[in-house]
């Protein structure tokens, strides 16, 4: 049993390492699969590992195909605000929603699914895009006495960034392991995401500093 350097008050949040976001997937993130070996290694250092899955019902409001004339990567206005439209991806129980086959899932203590409501997206693993509905993750981590989190996964500029910003807002000391993430990067979204994360108080580091 390898030494767990990060104990009960720490958690590794592995965000959306799913087939849809890997090469060949419906919403492939460049190099998305490259994070898998590194995340598998990092998981060994943590007593608490949480995996998230983007998990949408068919016909989800974030899918371009759900809007007449909707174009992937364009945006529309939904009741809760602006929503970027995406190709259909991570449909609940579809092959795209499954974890990358090489992701080590055995030691995860929680698999959290998000984006499960047909009309509301959720990049964040904590609070949905209406900024009201919670996933329960903050309560779960709080109940375990977790005070610090490290994030890795896909995509840096969407689900990782929003989750990290909400982790800070939940009072957790928050770190993003930049080389264990990959970005979509549309229209400067990656630079913008790092700026927002820095303003929120997220600590940015590399895996050799973990």
**Strand 81-84 vs strand 75-78: parallel, antiparallel, or unpaired?**
antiparallel
User: Per CB under 6 A, does 155 bind ligand VGL?
Assistant: yes
CA dist 180 and 151 (Å) reads: 8
Given phi > 0 = left and psi -120 to 50 = alpha, else beta, which region is 194?
alpha
Q: Which of 26, 33, 54, 128 binds ligand VGL (CB under 6 A)?
A: 54
Question: Please, are residues 57 and 91 in contact by the beta-carbon 8 Å criterion?
Answer: yes
Q: Which does 16 bind (CB under 5 to 8 A by kind): Zn ion, ligand VGL, none?
A: ligand VGL
Question: Please, are residues 162 and 123 in contact by the beta-carbon 8 Å criterion?
Answer: yes
Give me the catalytic one of 22, 90, 159, 168: 159
Q: Which of 55, 150, 158, 194 binds ligand VGL (CB under 6 A)?
A: 158
Identify whether 114 is a catalytic site residue.
yes
User: Per CB under 6 A, does 154 bind ligand VGL?
Assistant: yes
Identify whether 148 is a catalytic site residue.
no
CA dist 89 and 96 (Å) reads: 7
Would you please indicate which residues are annotated as catalytic (active-site) residues? 16, 114, 159
Residues making contact with ligand VGL (CB under 6 A): 16, 21, 54, 86, 123, 154-155, 158-159
């Amino acid at each position: 049993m390898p030494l767990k350097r990060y104990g009960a008050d720490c958690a590794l949040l592995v965000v959306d390492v799913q087939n849809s976001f890997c090469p060949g997937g419906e919403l492939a993130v460049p190099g998305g699969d490259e994070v898998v070996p590194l995340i598998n290694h990092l998981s060994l250092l943590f007593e608490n590992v949480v995996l998230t899955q983007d998990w949408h019902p068919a016909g989800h409001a974030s899918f371009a195909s759900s809007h007449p004339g909707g174009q992937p990567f364009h945006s529309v206005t939904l009741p809760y605000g602006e929503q970027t439209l995406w190709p259909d991806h991570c449909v609940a129980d579809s092959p795209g929603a499954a974890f990358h086959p090489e992701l080590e899932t055995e030691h995860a203590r929680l698999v959290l699914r998000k984006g499960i409501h047909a009309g509301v997206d959720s990049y964040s693993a904590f609070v949905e895009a209406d900024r009201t509905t919670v996933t329960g993750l903050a309560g779960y981590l709080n109940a375990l006495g977790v005070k610090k989190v490290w994030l890795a996964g896909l995509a840096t500029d969407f689900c990782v960034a929003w989750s990290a910003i909400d982790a800070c807002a939940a009072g957790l000391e928050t770190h993003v392991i930049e080389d264990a993430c990959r970005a979509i990067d549309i229209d400067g979204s990656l630079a913008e995401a790092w700026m927002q994360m820095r303003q929120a108080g997220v600590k940015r580091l590399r895996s050799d500093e973990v």
